[in-house]
Amino acid sequence: MLNVSAAGISDWRSSGCMTPEGVPTLKCLEVVFGNILFMSSALIVLVLFIMIVIGAFNYLTSFGNPEKVKKAQGTIKMAVIGFILFLGSYLILNIIDILFLGGQGKIFQFNIP
């Protein structure tokens, strides 16, 4: 079991993946992949939020210009589509976990035997 800090990022020092001499082993890849998954998810949500804010700002400052309104609506539409794709992929992975792995919630945990 990996130790997770308050930020949600696993700490490789406290996960037991190092030898007593302080040399990392292949077991540390679990922590690296877990951290990459967590950080990429956070980055995707942040980028989608920024896209929605920029699209809304452009919509508000378009002053009725049809070209600017259409561009702002396109930005918001692409952000919503991106959010739906992100949420859909997460839900698909959870459905796979429930159907094939027994619903234990371990699909996002990387374990090297």
Q: pLDDT digits over 60-101, tens only?
A: 999 989 999 999 999 999 999 999 999 999 899 889 888 888
Residue carrying the six token digits 């002053």: 63
CA distance 113 to 99: 23
Q: Specify the pTM.
A: 0.71
Domain ranges of the chain: 42-100
Which residues, including other chains, have CB under 8 Å from residue 7's CB and lie 6 or more apart? Answer: none
CA distance 83 to 72: 17
Which amino acid is located at 19 in the chain? T
Q: What are 56-67's pLDDT values in tens digits?
A: 999 999 998 999
For the chain, how long is the longest CA-to-CA vector? 67
